[in-house]
Structure 1
Amino acid sequence: MNGNKSTVGTWVGFIAILIWCLLPVAWILSLSFKPVAETTAGSPQFLPKEWTLQNYRDILANPDFTRALINSFGIALIATVLSVIFATLAAYAIARLEFKGKKIVLSIALAIAMFPVVSLVGPLFDMWRTFHLFNTWPGLIIPYMSFTLPLAIWTLSAFFREIPWELEQAAQVDGATTWQAFRKVIVPLAAPGVFTAAILTFFFAWNEFVLAISLTSTTDARTVPAQMSFFVGADPFNPPYSQLATASVVVTIPVIIIVLLFQRKIVAGLTSGAVKG
């Protein structure tokens, strides 16, 4: 009897949490299928009175939005690749080599990861204007890497510590160089950690807003989160909620696809890091 009550309580709690988490998503989806006139009428109902795909046609035909999508993909992908490469090399050195100040390096990396982004906007704005990096892809890629590298280093160093040192030594005995042993033995074994670091880096770069809105002035480098803030419509007191919701759905689709395709690797990487770290 107690077991049945526990099961029922578990399912009730699970359903309540599921509704709490998915209700905003359902509301945004519903808004994206409503005509603009319906969303500006005041207190619209949950389901559309008239279903329409016009919002998606308008968003995808908007050159500023499509340009922002290209910027987001390019900047996030480049920042992810560079961060994972540098983090892999740094984490391997921290895990395998003995040198003075190792703990200090890790502490500084963690402090950088926790540093508030907004406090760096002013200095970066002045520096990027001086170095002609303002409103450019490198002007966003560099600070994105600065904030994602520490987390990636912490994640990967935990994996490298758990890989037996004897495997690398055996590869070297068989004639492999240090670089070959690292590339062909160590990195494949740390693949879950590398994948986890890449996913976290990509999500940060894809969703980041403060730097994207502060370090850009045109659509040349502005990413989607920043570009969405310019969807104000003709009337500033009645923003185009349906188009904003549509843009949010379009931006979320790549993230959902990545999670659905690689959910096992994501979970394996996160749980392995938690156990081994």
Structure 2
Amino acid sequence: MSAKERNWWIVAGVVIVLYALFPIAWIVSLSFKAPADIANGQFLPTVFTWANYSQILTGDAAALFLPALRNSFGICLIATFLACILSMFAAYAIARLDFKGKKLILSTALAVAIFPVISIVTPLFNLWRLIGLYDTWPGLIIPYLSLTLPLSIWTMSAFFREIPWEMEQAAQVDGATSWQAFRKVIVPLAAPGVFTTAILAFFLAWNDFVYGISLTSTSAARPVPAALGLFSGASQFEDPTGATAAAAVVVTIPVIILVLIFQRRIVSGLTNGAVKG
């Protein structure tokens, strides 16, 4: 690659990064603006204020935002844990065992993943109200599994296929049972894939809005995305842009922390098996 081509690639990379980060920077800027500065058209606030963060953490919006934040953490972590456990066993069976219907299972998982969520919300709403799961944590965890399980099964099955079969056979020759070989040999080797799958599944559940707004009605189970849609100003003529931007920043922070902590495992998991040999 010549110096000119390298410079063009650097310029293109910088442009793409700026294009991707500009909306985030704009939201952060809005979160520090006073109501009078929201519509002034300037990127930076004339006076930095923490009023928006105080409003969602200790002010009028705290009663709506903080329970939603707690609900999102609890529901998404439980849904991610269940999705990883279930998909681990399913992916192992798909990758290691020969049985009829293996391709049908993968095809069904893919079909569920691409099925529009909005089309099943109404019957699910009626069913949940009938059996008592409406506005509860299980009432969101179960639908979130339909979002996270298909991706988790597809991702983990690819990782299990890359693990040498001989290592599991060697453990069984040394006296380990099938369960011991799976637990002590296969699972540790698949750890990068498990971490990658867990992060992706958590993001899917964390960002869901349709289930959260349709299957909840109180702060008992309402997640953050649904709560943000219910923010209101001090009056009907005031738009809560600043408070919404501050809440969006607070909600994004856990995602950034997770990526920074597990970035090596994520990259290792995503690139595992990319090159054969």
User: After TM superposition, is the score higher than 0.5?
Assistant: yes
CA distance in 2, matches of 1:153, 1:186: 16
User: Which residue in 2 is equivalent to 1:200?
Assistant: 200
Alignment of 1:1-277 (within 5 A): 3-39=2-38, 42-61=39-58, 62-272=62-272
CA distance in 1, matches of 2:54, 2:94: 50
CA distance in 2, matches of 1:108, 1:52: 51
CA distance in 2, matches of 1:44, 1:93: 56
CA distance in 2, matches of 1:140, 1:275: 39
Tell me which amino acid in the other structure corresponds to 1:154: W
Q: Any idea what the Cα deviations from partners look like across 1:240-273, whole Å, max 9, x if unmatched?
A: 1111110000000000111111111111111226
Q: Secondary structure at the match of 2:2?
A: helix
CA-based RMSD of the aligned residues comes to 1.4
Question: How much does 1:232 deviate?
Answer: 2.1
% identical aligned pairs: 63
CA contact (8 A) 1:155 1:273 kept: no
CA contact (8 A) 1:193 1:273 kept: no
Question: How much does 1:275 deviate?
Answer: 5.2
Length-normalised TM-score, structure 2: 0.95
CA distance in 1, matches of 2:199, 2:85: 13
Tell me which amino acid in the other structure corresponds to 2:32: F
Question: How much does 1:118 deviate?
Answer: 0.7
CA contact (8 A) 1:196 1:266 kept: yes
Moved over 6 A (4+): none
CA contact (8 A) 2:162 2:273 kept: no
CA distance in 2, matches of 1:226, 1:104: 35
Tell me which amino acid in the other structure corresponds to 1:231: F
Summarize the Cα distance change of 1:213–1:261 in structure 2 as closer, same or farther, 3 Å threshold.
Answer: same
Tell me which amino acid in the other structure corresponds to 1:207: N
Higher alpha-carbon deviation: 11-20 or 114-123 = 11-20
Tell me which amino acid in the other structure corresponds to 1:253: I
Question: Paired residues, what number?
Answer: 273
CA contact (8 A) 1:36 1:243 kept: no
Tell me which amino acid in the other structure corresponds to 2:22: L
CA contact (8 A) 2:31 2:243 kept: yes
Length-normalised TM-score, structure 1: 0.95
Q: Secondary structure at the match of 1:135?
A: coil
